[in-house]
């Protein structure tokens, strides 16, 4: 495994040197890709939010991914892409360098922000996600596929809510690609970190277990049959109980190894049955990939998806033609070496590109 990934890193460096096409054949191929991607309209959102967990740096994930040149690359491939900028909470509360953010590592100070069931930064997380939900809805109403780059995975509270409530049927189906189920409630969570809870906020069967804002946000919209997982390998006891009791489809790495990733994705998509009236939302945590593929992330778990397996997941999701939104979360450029951070940001770029235009077009 280590040898294979080392080779892929060397190949990445080599590809960066050879990236500029110099032959008529490559120019012709580029023109063909531009033509095939015409009509694809994408809205790019940054969600530089870190209050769902306690590691500094994840709020810099959106900029790290943008710095890979992904928006320019999409333009060059003929995609109509608009950068909607970053969704901020406010000038003081969402700055990763301010004193409030430093309290993320201070348990005594952090206790001041607990929700009714011990959720850390409860009010801040939900207030931010309410704003994010509105922005996602704006992108979708513009007729664009919404790509949101986090930030921690608590932002999926807002992205999925915005996607569902922009649909007249208030329905989406969700493919959750992650090492973790993110299905805790405040009472089941060992940590109280809300990046481990977003999926549960959307499940109607679990809605009563969550406190909400005074106006009722977020409103749950997912039946248990509207969610499927790929890549699980670190699931809390309470989450496992919910998965089993509610019959939520989930494929861990053992099933990926046994069945093959393409078969796993096919089974998930067959179960979810996305359509024009129930579009697909893909929520991809970079820690679904093995740490050798994406080292700069807050909760890495060994034994994850290879880059190629991750690309197969999003390419197959794209191939169905009903994807309306994509999240890419938990890139943390503060973790690991600068090389690790750059490598992880490029891994995120590859996953996004695979979801939008296919992995062979990079």
pLDDT for 48-68, tens place per residue? 999 989 899 999 999 999 999
Known catalytic membership, residue 195: yes
pLDDT of amino acid 105: 37
pLDDT of amino acid 36: 63
DSSP label at residue 53: S
Q: Which of 285, 315, 327, 350 is catalytic?
A: 285
In 10 A of CB 86, how many CB atoms? 18
Q: Which of 161, 163, 195, 281 is catalytic?
A: 195
pLDDT of amino acid 111: 55
How far apart are the two ends of the chain, measured CA to CA in Å? 24
| Domain ranges across the chain | 35-361
Q: For residue 337, name the pLDDT band (cuts at 50, 70, 90).
A: very high
Q: Which of 161, 163, 165, 180 is catalytic?
A: 180
For a pLDDT cut of 70, what percent of the chain falls above it? 82
Q: Which of 86, 119, 152, 182 is catalytic?
A: 182
Helices then strands, counting H and E runs in the chain, come out as 14, 8
**Annotated binding-site positions:** 153, 178, 180, 182, 285, 287
Known catalytic membership, residue 153: yes
CA 173 remoteness from chain centre: 15
Asked if 242 and 263 count as a contact pair (C-beta separation under 8 A), the reply is no
Classify domain 35-361 by CATH architecture. 3-Layer(aba) Sandwich (3.40)
Lowest mean pLDDT among 148-152, 215-219, 304-308: 215-219
pLDDT of amino acid 118: 72
Known catalytic membership, residue 270: no
Known catalytic membership, residue 83: no
Locus of tokens 């991607």: 37
Lowest mean pLDDT among 32-36, 186-190, 224-228, 279-283: 32-36
Backbone angles phi, psi at 305, to 5 degrees: -65, 145
**H/E/C letters for each residue in 143-181?**
CCEEEEEECCHHHHHHHHHHHHHHCCCCCCEEEEECCCC
Q: Which of 152, 239, 287, 316 is catalytic?
A: 287
Distance (Å, whole) CA 147 – CA 356:
9
DSSP label at residue 217: P
pLDDT at 152 over 60: yes
**Annotated binding-site positions for Mn(2+):** 153, 178, 180, 182, 285, 287
Known catalytic membership, residue 285: yes
Highest mean pLDDT among 6-10, 16-20, 223-227 belongs to 223-227
DSSP label at residue 105: G
Known catalytic membership, residue 90: no
């Amino acid at each position: 495994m280590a040898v294979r990934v080392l080779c892929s890193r060397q190949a990445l460096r080599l590809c960066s040197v050879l990236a500029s096409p110099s032959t008529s054949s490559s120019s012709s191929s580029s023109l063909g890709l531009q033509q095939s991607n015409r009509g694809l309209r994408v809205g790019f959102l940054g969600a530089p939010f870190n209050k769902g967990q306690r590691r500094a740096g994840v709020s810099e994930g959106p900029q790290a991914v943008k710095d890979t040149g992904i928006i320019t690359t999409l333009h060059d491939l003929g995609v109509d892409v608009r950068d909607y900028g970053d969704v901020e909470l406010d000038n003081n509360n969402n700055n990763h360098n301010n004193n409030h953010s430093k309290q993320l590592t201070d348990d005594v100070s952090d206790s001041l922000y607990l929700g009714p069931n011990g959720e850390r930064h409860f009010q801040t997380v939900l207030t931010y996600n309410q704003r994010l939900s509105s922005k996602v809805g704006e992108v979708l109403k513009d007729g664009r596929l919404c790509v949101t780059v986090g930030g921690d995975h608590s932002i999926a509270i807002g992205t999925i809510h915005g996607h569902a409530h922009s649909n007249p049927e208030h329905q989406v189906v969700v493919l959750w690609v992650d090492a973790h189920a993110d299905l805790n409630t405040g009472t089941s969570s060992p940590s109280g970190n809300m990046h481990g809870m977003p999926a549960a906020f959307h499940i109607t069967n679990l809605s009563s277990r969550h406190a909400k804002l005074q106006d009722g946000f977020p409103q749950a919209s997912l039946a248990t049959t509207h969610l499927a997982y790929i890549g699980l390998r670190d699931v809390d006891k309470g989450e496992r109980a919910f998965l089993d009791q509610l019959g939520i489809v989930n494929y861990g790495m053992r099933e990926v190894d046994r069945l093959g990733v393409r078969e796993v994705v096919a089974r998930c998509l067959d179960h979810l049955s996305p359509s024009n009236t129930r579009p697909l939302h893909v929520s991809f945590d970079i820690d679904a990939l093995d740490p050798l593929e994406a080292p700069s992330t807050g909760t890495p778990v060994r034994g994850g998806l290879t880059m190629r397996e991750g690309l197969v997941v999003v390419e197959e999701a794209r191939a169905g033609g009903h994807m309306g939104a994509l999240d890419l979360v938990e890139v943390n450029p503060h973790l690991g070496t600068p090389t690790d951070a750059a490598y992880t940001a490029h891994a995120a770029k590859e996953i996004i590109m695979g979801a939008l235009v296919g992995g062979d077009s990079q």
